[in-house]
Structure 1
Amino acid sequence: MTATRTVELEGHIIDSGMMQRAFGIVMDLDGSFEVEEFDVGKHKDKTSYCRMSISADTQETLQEILHELHQNGANLTDPVDAHVEPAPADRVVPHGFYSTTNHPTEVRYDGEWIGVENIEMDCAIVLEPDPDGREEPRAYTKVLNGIEEGDLVVTDEAGIRVQPPERPRDSSGPFGFMQGGVSSERPSESLIEQVAEAIEETKAEGGKVLVVAGPALVHSGGALDLARLIREGYVDMLSAGNGFATHDIEHGLYGTSLGMDMETMEHPRKGHKHHIYTISEVIRAGGIAEAVDEGLVEEGVMYECVENDVPYVLAGSIRDDGPLPDTITDAVEAQNAIREQAHEADMVLMLSTLLHSVAVGNCLPSDVRVVCVDINPATVTQLLDRGSSQAIGMVTDIGTFVPTLADKILGPAAEGETDGDGYYETDGGADDDSDHGGGHPCGGN
């Protein structure tokens, strides 16, 4: 007996490839479709609409097809209220719970659509009804380890609709300059200028910019230019790891990064110990803010964060030396801190750090603008493969990107803003998850 349901797609479904993907999903999963209505937007700023019936040999196959279509923005034409079941215990979700995408999502309750708060991928949706009529019902995401017994968890796709970000052919909309995915061949200069304009636009609209940075930013010579952007108010939050903060402070104390003199490119005697000396001195001071207050740290990214009240999250890893007192060593606590930042961000710059980029990307809604820069194209590819399809990837040296970006926004650095010896002219940009040498494990994420 054939099972059939009707779905609809609406928006820039041709330009974005949504309709083509929908057809492919149905055929790949051994279903069939019949287009019942198809209205084509005849101008580039007009949307299209498609309604089609989906059929399969069994209800199970049809449900699998509908699940995949739903993840790509197709919604049932005859929605019902969302199904909910109480969580049987803390951190235990009902069987068949709905696992979220990172796209804006709504659930249907009592005949009305409710926006899901704090949307991110791979979470459950908890519904809070309003039995007393005193407040509006709420729907919001919860990670699995945050589920509490009795939470009303949404199950299967019924009564849920998602809205993937649209990609019109022109440069309009919030993703105007983000057309083309990953490439090392597009002109970097013009693309960096577009990124600079997007940052300025975000700030002008009252939005927040989050920077996700890896130690390669320090090694390759871009840290002081990032510090300039922080000082001038173009960065609102920083997400990094113990390694980044350590090498940023190490440079200010010793003029080295991972033991290498940033002016001469030589390894001074005992230079390989500078990172652990740095950690020791910051621990002695009581933390990064205390080290700034007592004059131990007088320049760099972490210095500017403290001086300009820019919040930062340093998430630890198993490879960390020390770590610095500010590093969050509990993985779940660190994840929650990153999640809070991600939910506040309107634009994110991911600068040469694979694991941190993926971690933050997992927490971001798909309507947040994301720029990922790395010398290794695999970093950007993995980010996209993990589901952050809104990201634009630039394959270039991070030590070139950040100074150029700062110059586009702020103009060339005035004399005295660097040490005057050109120590930021080094070649670099390798991802922070690679071997940096020096005979120690510090510098992970």
Structure 2
Amino acid sequence: MMFKLPEYIPPDFHTEHFAGSPDVHTEPAPKDGVVPENFYATSIFPEYFKIDGHWILIRESRMDCVVVIEDGLPHAVEFRNVKKGDAVVIGRSDNGETGVYVHQNAFNRNFQDNTDNFAFRMNNSRETAFSSDYDRLYDLLRYEKDHGYVVWVLGPAAAFDYDSRNAMSSLIKSGYVDALFAGNALATHDLEASFFHTALGQDIYSKCSCKNGHYHHIETINRARSSGSLKNLVRDYNIRDGIVQACLKKDVPMVLAGSIRDDGPLPGVYSDVYQAQDAMRAYTRRATTVICLATQLHTIATGNMTPSYQLVGGVVRPVYFYTVDISEFVVNKLKDRGSLSSESFITNIQDFVVNLERHLLGNG
């Protein structure tokens, strides 16, 4: 079955309720990084702002931002990026009465109308059957390859297994990855696998620990720092496999955000969290599908800056957001943080990646 995006049904702004709404009210920011009292904060949903008598959908939105009106258009701006004098929207109402309207349930999804009010297993768990979820994801990714922008968020577990590492590399080379977010660990252990066939000193196929294997990731980092960049490292050592090599070969941007526990780190890893956030934001602005594998904090960070919709070619479409982890707690954590549109697979992420690659590329 060919994938088809759900229809977006915009609000009817000709009704009396909306026609009588005032324009949004703004107040100037008193100083850089500080906004007026009673500021309005954005959600993940499509939001309209009445400006000069016209309802305008905010583009490139993200949760927990303020809205700045500039040149007659609304812009979602992080608090830290607000400049003194910016026209910041104020008011906490979002039903249209103050010139702000949040449009929830905007997509015409075909829900089942014949289900009982009470039913078992309505939420995902370890016991959930994911067969139909996989089939929908296969169709979605085939569509997105030509029409969308897919961001992957990877934990190091993606590189710990021989088959999943190869599968992820194949997906990158085949055009199913448009940008990749990770930490220092994912790139380090992927490159360690290229040099030593290990991750944290353990063979990525047999799982046997190697003598002095605990040196391998540090040796990898040292070589990378000596080369000066990951691109130079791949060239200097003629690396021909792995996730990092595939991204560099396909010009897939990687945002590697550092943490307090990192060794090294590798060259190119962001040590400033706000620089990392800005770098990630450049790609979540374009994302139409996001897939997060076994990395709780990076998943939450990405989810909190990804809206539930995207405007592509003048058409409003949903942004699909998937979390994949063996832990029910991890996949549910993002919903607790406000990203209600996320869908989850509770499974071993290595098996998940191999499944995708085999079905999408016919290698099964």
TM-score by length of 2: 0.86
After superposition, give the CA deviation of every residue in 1:68-94 in whole Å (9 maximum; x if it has no partner): xxxxxxx87842110100001100100
Rounded Cα–Cα distance in structure 2 between residues aligned with 1:169 and 1:214: 32
Query: Does structure 1 residue 159 correspond to structure 2 residue 110?
Result: no
Query: Does structure 1 residue 170 correspond to structure 2 residue 122?
Result: no
1:25-174, aligned counterparts within 5 Å? 78-129=20-71, 137-156=72-91, 157=93, 158-166=98-106, 170=110
After superposition, give the CA deviation of every residue in 1:369-412 in whole Å (9 maximum; x if it has no partner): 01111001111111111111111111001111000111110011
Q: Which secondary structure state, in structure 2, belongs to the residue aligned with residue 297 of structure 1?
A: coil
1:260-409, aligned counterparts within 5 Å? 260-367=202-309, 368-409=319-360
Mapped contact 1:223–1:300 kept (Cα < 8 A): yes
> Unaligned stretches of 5+ in structure 2?
1-6, 12-16, 113-120, 310-318
Q: For the structure 1 residues 252 and 161, does the alpha-carbon distance in structure 2 shift closer, same or farther, using more than 3 Å as the test?
A: same
Mapped contact 1:182–1:381 kept (Cα < 8 A): no
Rounded Cα–Cα distance in structure 2 between residues aligned with 1:401 and 1:361: 20
After superposition, give the CA deviation of every residue in 1:279-322 in whole Å (9 maximum; x if it has no partner): 00111111111112223432101000000100110011111100
Q: Which secondary structure state, in structure 2, belongs to the residue aligned with residue 340 of structure 1?
A: helix
Q: For the structure 1 residues 109 and 405, does the alpha-carbon distance in structure 2 shift closer, same or farther, using more than 3 Å as the test?
A: same
Mapped contact 1:181–1:393 kept (Cα < 8 A): no
Q: Which secondary structure state, in structure 1, belongs to the residue aligned with residue 58 of structure 2?
A: strand
- Total equivalences in the alignment: 329
Mapped contact 2:24–2:99 kept (Cα < 8 A): yes
Partner of 2:182: 240
Task: Find the partner of 1:410 among 339, 361, 364.
Answer: 361
Mapped contact 1:193–1:405 kept (Cα < 8 A): no
Q: For the structure 1 residues 165 and 210, does the alpha-carbon distance in structure 2 shift closer, same or farther, using more than 3 Å as the test?
A: farther
Aligned residue type for 2:181: S
> Unaligned stretches of 5+ in structure 1?
1-44, 50-74, 130-136, 173-178, 414-445
Mapped contact 1:164–1:366 kept (Cα < 8 A): no
Cα displacement (A) at 1:186: 2.9
Mapped contact 1:121–1:362 kept (Cα < 8 A): yes
Partner of 1:195: 137
Rounded Cα–Cα distance in structure 2 between residues aligned with 1:180 and 1:102: 23
Cα displacement (A) at 1:266: 1.4
Partner of 1:256: 198
Query: Does structure 1 residue 218 correspond to structure 2 residue 162?
Result: no
Larger Rg: 1
Aligned residue type for 1:213: L
Mapped contact 2:224–2:233 kept (Cα < 8 A): yes
Q: Which secondary structure state, in structure 1, belongs to the residue aligned with residue 55 of structure 2?
A: strand
Cα displacement (A) at 1:104: 1.2
Q: Which secondary structure state, in structure 2, belongs to the residue aligned with residue 327 of structure 1?
A: coil
Cα displacement (A) at 1:180: 6.0
The share of aligned pairs that are identical, in percent, is: 36
